[in-house]
């Protein structure tokens, strides 16, 4: 689940929930549709942690979709302790979307037969949302929620019209990951997300040290009990 901040002024955002998302780090998005970073599907929830390190960059992610698949993506600006976040523009590109909007703003050429929906710029200041697990915060940005009319390759295109550099987060998908492997990796996700934000991870070390001490104490008690039984 996700908490909404309590700061006065900005409007809260109902329904924003980042839980159940698998974080994606270190992906190598291409700059064109032909070499975009590939994902298995657009339905399972993922959080893409990206960063523009050069001026004029374009990041492209691609997914093979079926007719009627839901395409949901929302931009988030991470609240970093030292700054350095950016709110880029993004678009969904696919064959025969229900409608097409602002395609002239795309930083690349739209292939024949493809449609594009470019997310509108933020129109108002919203309250940051806080992830309960990691305690990191994000400012919610624009949302695109549509469907494909025909099957084929779909693309998520991210760019900064003003050539800014910085970190960004994109949420895609709408279905929770329910496999046990997702839950088993929650400590790793916590560690990597906190590190990406530049926040302290000392709490994990304290928990690990406490677990080690408890394990050692239990082992010592078991050995003492076994030794006492042999002496009788």
What are 125-175's pLDDT values in tens digits? Answer: 678 888 888 999 999 999 999 999 999 999 999 999 888 899 999 999 998
Question: Does the pLDDT of residue 67 top 90, yes or no?
Answer: yes
Type and span of the H or E element at 193: helix 186-197
DSSP state letter for 219 = H
Question: Residue 211 half-sphere exposure, CB side, CA atoms within 13 Å?
Answer: 6
**CA–CA distances in Å: residue 16 to residues 90, 121, 178:** 18, 18, 19
- Band of the pLDDT at 9, cuts 50, 70, 90? very low
Phi, psi torsion values for 204, nearest 5 degrees: -65, -40
Partners of 217 in beta bridges: none
Q: What is the token pair recorded at 80?
A: 């970093």
SS3 call for 33: helix
pTM (global) more than 0.75: yes
- Report d(CA 224, CA 206) in Å as an integer: 27
Domains of the chain by residue range:
2-181
């Amino acid at each position: 689940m996700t908490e909404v901040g309590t700061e006065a002024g900005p409007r809260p955002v109902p329904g924003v929930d980042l839980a159940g998302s698998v974080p994606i780090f270190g992906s190598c998005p291409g700059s064109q549709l032909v070499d975009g970073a590939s994902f298995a599907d657009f339905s399972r929830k993922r959080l893409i942690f990206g960063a523009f390190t050069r001026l004029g960059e374009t990041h492209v992610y691609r997914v093979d979709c079926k007719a009627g698949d839901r395409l949901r993506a929302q931009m988030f600006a991470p609240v970093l302790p030292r700054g350095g976040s950016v709110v880029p523009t993004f678009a969904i590109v696919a064959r025969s979307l229900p409608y097409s909007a602002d395609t002239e703003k795309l930083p690349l050429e739209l292939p024949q037969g493809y449609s594009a929906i470019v997310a509108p710029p933020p129109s108002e200041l919203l309250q940051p949302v806080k992830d309960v697990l990691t305690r990191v915060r994000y400012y919610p940005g624009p949302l695109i929620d549509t469907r494909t009319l025909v099957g084929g390759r779909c693309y998520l295109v991210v760019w900064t019209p003003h050539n800014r550099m910085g970190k960004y987060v994109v949420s895609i998908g709408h279905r929770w990951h329910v496999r046990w492997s997702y839950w088993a990796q929650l400590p790793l996700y916590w560690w990597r997300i906190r590190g990406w934000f530049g926040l302290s991870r000392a709490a994990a070390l304290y928990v690990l040290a406490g677990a080690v001490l408890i394990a050692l104490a239990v082992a010592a008690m078991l050995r003492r009990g076994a030794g006492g039984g042999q002496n009788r």
